[in-house]
Chain A
């Protein structure tokens, strides 16, 4: 229990370090509210109580995340001029709110247990996952908090976690932050109303797609590594999404814990695929629209969600009508990747008009490079860097394959790759970690993209 208390305190200090007077009461009140509602639900399974619990959570999230957006939209639609509330989004609120909604739903369904207050607080606030996930489930985490042996220092856990952490840090610092240098100026130019050429448009979209993947999967690897160091195993969140051969496949590989949440707590409760194809497609669209909105209060995220919802509807429809017309794998892969990259544009763009500017550029409406490229003399190096990162995403084993799968055969390599605590692995991981740290010291890393969600 002492270890749990210590971790709770450490996690709360970590979370509220930046603004303790605002963040600490916020998270503690959210935890307390959900803990007691959950406890009552476990005893009564009262639907009204569940509605109060989820309503309270959504109200909190809505106030902090969507109030400004709603006022802006209302002003735009009605022509009135309500003042936009200036509310700073508390870090990680989307993640800890979703984690607790899942708990409430499971408590109502009778699929949760009554937990000790400290264990529950640790479940919500556990520092490796708190800021940007992975969005874990109480059933996979709570049992680990009850195991005494998890809280004893174990050199194998520490070393294994350190390796995961090093890999994640390298992805973030050496891949994501570097490719961001090429993608960001293009989106900034579009936001400033500058026309974007075909080459720049694709560099921007693909560069951002790779930045986001290495940034977020790097963060997840670091979270998994940190948790492993103290004996806790977090769920995986990425499984080489850019290798996907369809959009359905992509969503099984990208932000897997969010997909799982949306499936279990939104799509299936809406009826899933149990009420006929038409209803299924509507459910898919609703799920993806809300999933998009979860990422941020802006029409660009709604657009991103809508594009993916529409894409999933087409994908399922295609599967249904053309099971005999299977696309060759390279064509399916190229189509999926192209679609996903196009869809990242509104996800990153500052506004819908900036997104359309980039899209127009990607389809050649502004020529190859109107009035010179945004990247000036860096196009070749940007293309090369993107090609290398894409090749790594496509042909190299991902983190869990590299570190955990017992046998992975990589094309061109005869020997299987398998992580073992051996000197060559220690040398390689140590060098990668050292290089990433030296980049942090000498250069300025960008912030994690998912922190703002």
Chain B
């Protein structure tokens, strides 16, 4: 012990003032580095995520890098992108559905149509197949009060427990998840600046950008290349009748909760391989007394059999919004 006593000097002799300053600086630096370090690590881990092509108000909704993955579920659920939350709240026309909806309305035609009419809209579909069980709470948390709702019923109305992992994580919202989500929010901003200043970013990981103003995806290019996989009319399958019946029940509850005039609720079925979604939309619209719209266009194609390619999205969405005009005029 004698040796240790010699080793440990008596710091009580030092001035208290110096020690107070020391502890204060220590605390501030500890806080700053505890906040900065995870963002730095995340930047290092996800450096290959894309920053281009990036719209003026886009955020990085998804990056295939395993340390980033999905961001849009949590970001829209918790309002981490304030402009996106504000856009959902203020949207007069709200589009709901899965990633098929996002692909179909990832088109300039949609943007130009609403811009020309001064109508605020938001395309609020989600990847991972998340539909009503996740989109309803997002709408409620964002304070959405649309005048027109467009729903891609594929079939959209499903049991409350049918949630993807990103949606479950967002709803459970543990502290670790929220902390990681906050890091993702900070990371993409830091990453963008770094890649702008130092043009050495690999820009190699498939990524999806999402506009905070209108919710449209920017994904052909940064996520997948344009492909022409024709929609095969012969391969149509039918959704089982019991699922349609269940969708009617859940749809009724959903629409009652929203409380919007059903004449201002539009069901559609975006064409894709495998399922006859147009027919499903029509059946549900009849049962739930909503409007039904499904423009018929030949020669549509997808990138993967399920999601429109860029050309088809432009063609189909242009036809759709044109057909939507009377309803928009009636409801707004």
Contacts and interface: CB of A to CB of B under 8 A. Distances in A.
B117 interface: no
B33 A140 contact: no
A404 B176 CA distance: 37
Contacts of A420: 14
B4 interface: yes
Interface string A425-436: 111011111110
A42 B29 CA distance: 51
Contacts of A162: 23, 26
A220 to B, nearest CB: 12
Nearest to B25: A426
Secondary structure type dominating chain B contacts: helix
Contact of B9 (A140, A406, A438, A441): A406
Interface string B31-62: 11111111001000000000000000000000
B8 A233 contact: yes
Interface string A156-171: 1111101100100000
B128 interface: no
Contacts of A155: 16, 19-20, 23
A55 to B, nearest CB: 29
A140 B23 contact: no
A158 B23 contact: yes
Nearest to A136: B1
Nearest to A137: B1
A434 B30 contact: yes
A442 B14 contact: no
Centre residue among A156, A163, A405 by max chain B CB count within 10 A:
A156
B238 interface: no
A160 B11 contact: yes
Contact of A438 (B12, B16, B24, B38): B38
Interface string A407-423: 00000000000001111
B227 interface: no
A156 B19 contact: yes
Contacts of B33: 430-435, 438
A422 B9 contact: no
Interface residues of B, number: 36
Contacts of A430: 25-30, 32-33
B257 interface: no
A400 B28 contact: no
B26 A426 contact: yes
Contacts of A137: 1
Contacts of B12: 154, 156-157
A103 to B, nearest CB: 15
B31 to A, nearest CB: 7
A139 interface: yes
Given A429-B26, A438-B35, 12 more contacts: A137-B1, A160-B11, A163-B26, A166-B30, A427-B29, A430-B27, A430-B29, A433-B29, A434-B31, A435-B33, A442-B176, A442-B180
What 7 A-B pairs come out closest when comparing CB atoms? Answer: A430-B29, A434-B33, A426-B25, A434-B34, A421-B22, A438-B37, A434-B30
15 contacts: A156-B19, A159-B19, A159-B23, A233-B4, A235-B1, A425-B22, A426-B26, A431-B32, A433-B26, A433-B30, A434-B33, A441-B176, A442-B41, A442-B176, A442-B183
Interface of B: 1, 4-5, 7-9, 11-12, 14, 16, 18-38, 41, 176, 179-180, 183
